[in-house]
Amino acid sequence: MLAAVRSAAVLGVDAFDVTVEVDCTRGLPHWTVVGLPASSVKESRERVSAALGNAGIDLPQRRVTINLAPADVAKTGTAFDLPIAIAVLIAFEIIEAESARDVLFLGELGLDGSVRPVRGVLSVARRIAQATPHVTLVLPPGNVGEAGLVRGVRLCAPASIVELVQWMRGGRLPVATTSCTAGPARPGDDFADVVGQQSAKRALEIAAAGGHNVLMIGPPGAGKTMLARRLSSILPALTEQEALEVTSIHSVAGTLSGATGVFERPFRAPHHSVSTAGLVGGGGIPRPGEVSLAHHGVLFLDELLEFPRHTLESLRQPLEDGRVTIARAASAISYPARFTLVAAMNGCPCGYAGSATRACACSEAEIRQYRARLSGPLMDRIDLHLHVAAIPVRGLGVRPQGEHSADIRARVERAREQQRRRFAGTVVSCNAEAGGRTLVAELSADARSLLDDAGESLGLSARAYHRVAKVARTIADLADLADDASVTVAHVAEALRYRPVSAG
């Protein structure tokens, strides 16, 4: 008998429909899986047959052919175990085909028949909600939390294949209760704990308000890492749509834990030994890299110049486009990667170039060679360049008197709200993502004249010119000006302070 049930697979972070077809005929007992299955999918025949046997379901000795359609798209992962098992049971007339009508199955089977969690369930739930809301999603209990983030999808979560068969024979699939919690909160770092560093705090506030990239340069122990880790405390909360996007990426990457969603902006800080595939994504079976796991959050690269140059150069496309595309012979997969880059580096190999407390031991040639590891095009994509000086030792014992992160965050959220109104109806969510020419038009005549003069004297590229205009617009937003108010000379002058003198 021929049977077919619905399932789904994930390509990148988007799901697509898969039909699992099973045909059982007379012949030598053998199970064959076709439809471009990866090794993990081919092994499902062993898991499914053992799970059904251990569940007390004896199958006749037949030749079984399993097809995963569309057959010209590669299938990976273990999520096809459950749909294959159900299709086999229908083909052997152990359960009725009508019981699988308008039902989509996902799940890995243990040898004891238990249903185990799989990756990418949230992407499948989002597709069901958009295209076929009448379909019931049968999934592992461990994935109910993330799938429950999508409204309007009916979920059923059997603990084992035996339980599911009993429900289908009874003609009733009970609705699973959903409960998705936030992951463990990060430690409560606060800007109020930082002694001094007022200019660095101001730059990070601008970065948070407009989504701008930041490079901090300074001697060891000046507080660059401490400041970067506190940036998360002043970022605005994720919107519902952003939380779904971020959780989908982490679901595909397999970094979710149980019924845990991602409700805080990600903060990713890979070690400088990370590979290019680890940073931007890739591998034999492409997976999201750190740039995608930092989507709508912060990617912090400490000791920037210790990263291999070719690895850093791979950041160019995601910084410009907000996406990263991984091309393979069979297909090309795109992952979202719209993040705020925060990088920290020393000024020279010994670290003390420009330090007021310790002499630098490096020659001019060594310093030039060291800084040449960071290319001009990559520097051009960083909006805010700032020097972080070390705090005098005697000042470290002074009780901090700075603003709390909550106060700074309130200003950032007001600025972001202005930007949401400004870019309503577009895919742009903050100034850093906007077209440069659009924001240049908002400069007053005097401000544009200043930017033109500075562009010529500093040798700004077209990209750098527009990025200065974006930063100036963000500074104006923090000043709580009206949405249609022109950007003034003072705003452009402050934005120009964050451009390096020796580069555009």
To the nearest whole number, what is the mean pLDDT of the chain? 89
Looking at residue 310, its pLDDT comes to 93
d(CA 144, CA 180): 8
Burial track 250-284 (b if 16+ CB lie within 10 A, e otherwise): bbbbeebeebbbbbbbbbbebeeebebbbbbbbee
In angstroms, the CA 312 to CA 314 distance is: 5
Q: Are 346 and 353 in contact, with CB atoms under 8 Å apart?
A: yes
Is the overall model pTM greater than 0.85, yes or no? yes
Mean of pLDDT values over 214-221: 92
pLDDT-derived band of residue 503, with 50, 70 and 90 as boundaries? very low
Give the residue ranges of DSSP H helices in 219-371. Answer: 224-229, 240-253, 276-280, 290-293, 309-313, 316-321, 364-371
Phi-psi region of 102 (alpha: psi -120 to 50; beta: other; left: phi over 0): left
Give tens-digit pLDDT for 480-495.
776 667 889 999 999 9
Kindly tell me if the per-residue pLDDT of 444 is higher than 80. Answer: yes
Q: Could you tell me the domains of the chain?
A: 2-179 (3.30.230.10), 191-434 (3.40.50.300)
pLDDT tens per residue across span 110-123? 999 999 999 999 99
pLDDT one-digit tens code per residue, 68-107: 999 998 899 999 999 999 999 999 999 999 999 999 999 9
Helix, strand, or coil (residue 355): coil
pLDDT of residue 188: 63
CA–CA distance, 242 with 263 (Å, rounded to integer): 9
Query: Under DSSP, is residue 199 helix (H, G, I), strand (E, B) or coil?
Result: helix
Give the CA count within 13 Å in the CB-facing half-sphere of 350.
12
Q: What is the dihedral of CA 310, 315, 321, 325, to 10 degrees?
A: 60
User: 204 Cβ partners below 8 Å, 6+ apart?
Assistant: 214, 227, 228, 230, 231, 234
Supply the pLDDT for residue 257. Answer: 72
